[in-house]
Chain A
Amino acid sequence: MKGKPSTNLAMARISWALSERSRQVLSDFTRNGRAQVGGLLSLTFVLVAVFAPLIAPYAANFSDFDEILQNPSSEFPLGTDELGRDQLSRVILATRVSMQAGVMATLVAIVVAIPLGLLAGYHGGWLDRVIMRLVDVALAFPFLIMAVLMAAVFGPSLLNATFAIGLSQVPYVVRILRAETLSIAQEEYVASARISGVSTARILSRHVLPNLMNTVVVQATIIIPSAIIAEAILSFLGLGVQPPTPSWGVMLSSSQGLIIQAPWLVWAPGLAIAAATISFNLFGDALRDVLDPKMGRR
C-alpha cells in the first residue's frame, strides 16, 4: 500500500478492528432471539415484496363485479372490496410499495445526511453553522407538511412521498453523524493523517466514513419502520400512492366508508402495516443492541 507509514499503520489498525468487530457482531447477532425473529420476519416481507406478482393469486386491478364485497372465503381468503378485487392479492402487492418506501426513504436520508454531517463535523466553523441552520429549517417541516408541499407543487405520488419522508429524517441523521464525526476527528490517527498532508477528501473517505458506518446502519434501522408507517399515512391521506395502485394506506382509506358492511377490509391492511413495522423494529432493536446499546440515541 502506498502512502506515509503512519497512515498505513492507522489504516491497518482500523481494518483489523473493523473485521474483528464484524465477526463478533455477526456471531452476537445471529444468536440473539429478537434478531432471529425480527430478521426472519423482515426477510419474509422483503421476499414477499420481491416476488409479489408471482405469489399473488390475482392481479391488483382485476375486478370481478359479480364478487363485490364478498366475505373471506376459500376463494378469496381476505374477501373482496367494493370493486370486486381480491384483497389478499392486493395486500401482497402492496408490500412492494411499503418496502420501496422504506428503502428509498432511507437512501434519500442517508445520501443527503452523510455529506452534510461529515462536513459539519469535520470542517466546523461557518460551514457547520450554515448546515445546522439548514437542519433547523428542515426540522420546521415535519414529514407530513413536507409531503403536503411536495404534493402541492409536484402532484401527489409515491416518489414525492418517499422523498418527503427521507428529507424529514435528514436533520436527525445529520445531527448524529456530525457528533460522531466530531469525536472521530479528534482521534490521533486522524490528526496524524492531517499533519502528514493527506487531503481532506481522503481523510473523510478513508478514515472517518468507515467508522461512521455503524451509526449509519443503526439510523437506517430506525428509519425503515418509520418510513413504512409514514408512507401508509400519506397514502391514507391521498398524498402518496394514488389509487388504483395498491398500498396498505390506500386500502385503509377506501375501507373507511365500508367499515360496517365489510369490516374485513379494515383488518388485513392494518395488520400488515403493524406486522411489517414490528418486524423491522425488532430487527433494528436487535441490531442496535449488538452494535452498541447506546449508539444512535436520538
Chain B
Amino acid sequence: MLRFGLRRLSESLVALFLSSLVVFAAAQAMPGDAAQTIAGFEGADPATLQAIRDRYGLDAPVHVQYIRWIALALQGDLGNSLRTDASVLGLIAQTLPITIQLAVMSLAFATFIGLPLGAIAAYYRGRWPDYVANIFATLGLAVPNFWLGLMLILIVAVTLDWLPASGYVPPSDSITGNLERMILPTVVLGTGFSAAIMRQLRSTMIEALGSDYVRTARAKGLTEISVVIRHAMRNSLVAVVTVMGLQLGLLISGAVVTEQIFVLPGFGRLIVDAVFNRDYPVITGVVLVVASAYLLINLIIDLLYRVLDPRVRLEQGEA
C-alpha cells in the first residue's frame, strides 16, 4: 500500500509540474504587456516601463521567469488582482470556504439520495420502484442545473416565498440564515450528482445481485438486508467512488454556475468575474490552485480505491 501510494504520489507530482507549465504558458500568452499592466492603464513612459521590467525581472529568460513564478506561488504569493489590488491568495482564501461548504453539502445530499435510490432500483429491477427511480435519474442528469436553479428560485423563492432567493450569510453571523440560503444551491448542485450516483450504483448492484457470491450469501441463510447491504452494496461502492471522481469536473462547473445564480460570493464567482474583468493574475492563480486541487483529489480517490477493493493493483490504475 505504501509503495503504491508513493508511486502514485510521484506520478501526481510529475503531472502537477507539467500542469504548472501549461498554466504558465497560458499566462504568458494572455494579452497585455505585463509591465504596462503593472504600471496602470494610463500609458507610462518607456523609462518607467523599463524600470518595472527590471524590478520584476520581466526581461529574464522564460525559464527563469517560470522558476520565480513557481517559487513565489509555493510561498503563497500569487500576485495581486488587477482590479482591486487585493492579493490573489487572499481572495481565494476568502471565497473558497463558501464553495467548499456548498460542495460538501451537495455531496452529502447527493449521497443520501443517490445511494438508497440506486439500491432500491437495483433490488426491484424491472418493477415500478426501478421505473420511478430511473425517471428521476434521467431527468436529474439531463436537466441543466442552472435551469433547475432558476426554476427553483421562481417556484420556491418567488412564488411560494419559502426561502430567500439569493445572497449569502456567513455561519458566524447566523446559522439559520446561512443554511436558509444554502438549501436551494445544495439541491441544485446535488441533484445531478445524485442522479449519476444512483445510476452507477444501480448498474453495479444489479451485477452484484446476480453474482455468485451473492448467491452464496443467500445460501448461507443471511437475511436479505445483510445480503443487499453487506455484500452487494459494499462491493458496488468502488464504482460509485469512480463516478464521483469523474463527476468532479461537473461539480466545479456546477458550483460556478450555482454561485452565479444564487449570488454566492464563492470561488466560482471569483473565476467568472476575473474572466469578465480580464483580471489575469487572478485567473492564473485560480487555475493553478484548481489544477493542483484536482490532482490531489484524484490521488486521494485512487488511494481510496485501494482501500475499498483489495484486488486493485497499480497496473489496474493505469489500464
Contacts and interface: CB of A to CB of B under 8 A. Distances in A.
Q: Is chain B in direct contact with chain A in the complex (CB below 8 A)?
A: yes
Nearest to A137: B18
Contacts of B291: 140-141, 145
Interface stretch (A16-24, A111-119, A206-214, A253-261): A253-261
Interface stretch (A60-68, A85-93, A233-241): A233-241
A149 B150 CA distance: 27
A170 B275 CA distance: 24
A281 B147 contact: no
A278 B138 contact: yes
B235 interface: no
B260 to A, nearest CB: 7
Interface stretch (A99-107, A150-158, A190-198): A150-158
Interface string B1-45: 000000000011011101100110010011100000000000000
A142 B150 contact: no
A151 B275 contact: yes
Nearest to A144: B253
Contact of B154 (A145, A266, A277, A282): A266
A230 B253 contact: yes
B244 to A, nearest CB: 12
Given A137-B15, A152-B280, A259-B154, A145 B287 contact: yes
B58 interface: no
Q: Is the interface of B mostly helix, strand, loop or mixed?
A: helix
Given A153-B30, A259-B150, A259-B154, A136 B15 contact: yes
Given A141-B22, A252-B150, A132 B158 contact: no
B153 interface: yes
A270 B252 contact: no
A256 B150 CA distance: 7
B79 to A, nearest CB: 14
A143 B290 CA distance: 12
B308 interface: no
A136 B11 contact: yes
A140, A233, A270, most chain B CB atoms within 10 A? A140
Interface string B280-300: 100100110011101100100
B253 A277 contact: no
A33 to B, nearest CB: 13
B142 A144 contact: no
B318 A132 contact: yes
B55 to A, nearest CB: 25
Interface in A241-298: 252, 255-256, 259-260, 263, 266, 269-270, 273-274, 277-278, 281-282, 298
Contacts of A225: 142
Contacts of A136: 11-12, 14-15, 18, 295
Contact of B26 (A143, A149, A259): A149
B141 interface: yes
A148 B150 contact: no
Count class of interface residues, chain A: 35 or more
B261 interface: yes
A165 B278 CA distance: 21
A270 B144 contact: yes
A82 to B, nearest CB: 16
B256 to A, nearest CB: 6
Given A144-B253, A238-B275, A259-B158, A274 B143 contact: yes
B305 interface: no
8 contacts: A136-B11, A140-B16, A142-B294, A149-B287, A153-B29, A270-B144, A273-B144, A298-B242
Interface of A: 132-134, 136-137, 139-145, 148-149, 151-153, 156, 168, 172, 178-179, 182, 225, 229-230, 232-233, 236-239, 252, 255-256, 259-260, 263, 266, 269-270, 273-274, 277-278, 281-282, 298
Given A142-B294, A282-B138, 14 more contacts: A136-B18, A141-B22, A142-B250, A144-B249, A144-B253, A145-B287, A148-B283, A230-B253, A236-B257, A237-B256, A237-B260, A252-B146, A256-B261, A259-B150
